[in-house]
Amino acid sequence: MKKNRFLYVSMLMMALLGSMVATSCGDDEEEVGKKEVVSHKIQGMWKYAFGDEDFIVMFLNADSTGYMIEYDNGEIDKNKAFTYNYNAETNLLTVYWDTYQDKAVVQWINEDSFRWNFDGDKEIMIWNRQILDEDNADDAEGDGMDGMGGTASLICPDDNHPHIIDLGLPSGTKWCCCNVDATAPEEFGGYYAWGETSEKSVYDENTYAYFDNNTAKYINIGSYITGTSYDVAHVKMGDSWCMPTNAQLTELIFKNRFSITSYNGVRGLLITGQNKNQLFLPFAGKKRVGYPLDAGDDFFYWAGNVDEENIKFAYDFYFTSYGAGISDWRYIAHSVRPVHK
């Protein structure tokens, strides 16, 4: 059964990350021609799991774009961009690929889960929402300990930051309570282009240290920069800290409970581990020129892996008002949340 499903999903995901980024990243050329934003409850980040480390993630963005990512043994295996249409009256969800479409009626189980299958796939696929917003939080007042919204508290044991946060993850990875350059969990910290270790006033291809203006090509500094001289967490915080790998960022996203909440007056994602320990990622936005864009609404966090299909991009995790994703242009300034070695 699993082999057949992998074969079928593989057929769906023949186009790789290059086309996905053109659809889902929010900068430069990709700002042009944005589609009309329509609000409906099916928008969000959904996961269908058929094993602890094998699952499919579907992003349904507010501008009717989206993409699917297949994870094999916890690592990104295949991904493909699409557009979609959702009819709120009939619950018909149609996903448009390059040359064909998948169409089926969504059967809602509750606000945060539904049944929906690919055409020709008879197995029941249950999709669960990965991030709860304030409206869907079932503990709106919240005590900060259940990851279900409200106002978070008690994330760190004291004010002597940074702390090592153990979320009880299968890999044993432990996370820093703060961003690079931040002195508290709610502070935005610094903004860095991928592979750079100092901030600057303008972030574009012309100022990016690893873009060759003579050839108009990106310089390959390695497919994996975690723990190297290109790793800003390692350089600025010492040998005990480093940028997360893509696998560690994936584990953080899909092995914990997420909700949008506030911590000390700052909006962000509250992450609650199986052991009830918590991590807070502030909506720090990103930087292009001078000041953060969309701070308070969006965040962008780098991983240490380049996209080997197209080295213009590197892996990250971003969450915005119009969608979420896992890759962005290397020259754009993002936040970095370190992990402990």
What is the per-residue pLDDT for 171? 93
State residue 148's pLDDT score.
38
**pLDDT confidence of residue 312:** 96
pLDDT lower than 70: segments of the chain: 1-39, 120, 132-154, 290-291, 322-323
The whole-angstrom distance between residue 262's C-alpha and the CA centroid of its chain comes to: 19
Residue-level pLDDT at 322: 67
pLDDT of residue 151: 52
Q: Is the distance from CB of 116 to CB of 127 less than 8 angstroms?
A: yes
The span from the CA of 203 to the CA of 330, in Å, is 10
Decide if 21 contacts 313 (C-beta within 8 A).
yes
CB 340 within 8 A of CB 178: no
Residue 84: per-residue pLDDT? 94
Q: Give the chain's length.
A: 341
Three-state SS annotation for 181-229 = CCCCCCCCCCCECCCCCCCCCECCCCCCCCEECCCCEECCCCCECCCCC
pLDDT tens-digit series, residues 35-73: 454 567 898 889 998 877 788 888 888 888 887 888 887
pLDDT confidence of residue 230: 98
Which domains are present in the chain? 2-129 (2.40.128.370), 135-340 (no CATH)
Picking from 53, 16, 79, 24, the residue whose alpha carbon sits closest to that of residue 247 is 53
The pLDDT assigned to 50 comes to 85
Cα distance from N-terminal residue to C-terminal residue, the chain: 38
Query: 277: Cβ–Cβ under 8 A, 6 or more apart, which residues?
Result: 165, 166, 167, 168
Say how many CA atoms lie within 13 Å of 74 toward its Cβ. 16
Predicted confidence at residue 38, as pLDDT, reads: 54
Which one, of 227, 233, 224, 220, lies nearest residue 192 by Cα?
233
- Cβ(92)–Cβ(105) below 8 Å: yes
Residue 140 is predicted with a pLDDT of: 28
